[in-house]
Amino acid sequence: MDTTTIAQPAHPSTPEPGYVLRGLGLYELHANAILDSYQGGGKYLVPSGTQANGLYETRIGTRPERNRCECRGFASHKHCSHVVAAGRVAGRSAVCDGCGARTWRRDLSEVQESLTYFEGDLLCRSCRRDSDAL
């Protein structure tokens, strides 16, 4: 009995839609500004890719169908590059359990033992330093 397998041809990957690529570009250019614009409740201010000094209020919900943006593209298509950029920022950031500031996940550390915080809490560098000083 022959147990040789024949390699199947790889399926060509589906190219990303243009709005997704534009959103990833906005993220690459403005990630820190988008994070700094966080207003709570999933709201971010995302720069326009076409208008100088233009900003769009974008809301990232816990479910994709709750995402919103005030741009014309979202009004007509229910998706846009601003939601993609804000969604990327939301996915790569979290709220510090100490001070409540939204920051990059890479800058947060999980509490192992503390008299001040619960095990598993995420703390920014500043709150971690303050906790260690106690």
φ, ψ (nearest 5 deg) of residue 85: -65, -45
Tell me, yes or no, whether 102 and 84 share the same domain: no
Asked if residue 61 is part of any domain, the answer here is yes
For the chain, 134 residues long, give each residue's pLDDT as a single digit of tens: 556 666 666 666 667 899 999 999 999 999 999 999 999 999 999 999 888 889 999 999 989 899 999 999 999 999 999 999 999 999 999 999 999 999 999 999 999 887 788 999 999 998 888 766 55
Cα–Cα distance measured from residue 69 to residue 47, given in angstroms and rounded to the nearest whole number: 12
Pair 93, 105: CB distance under 8 Å: yes
Tell me, yes or no, whether 54 and 98 share the same domain: no
Tell me, yes or no, whether 29 and 74 share the same domain: yes
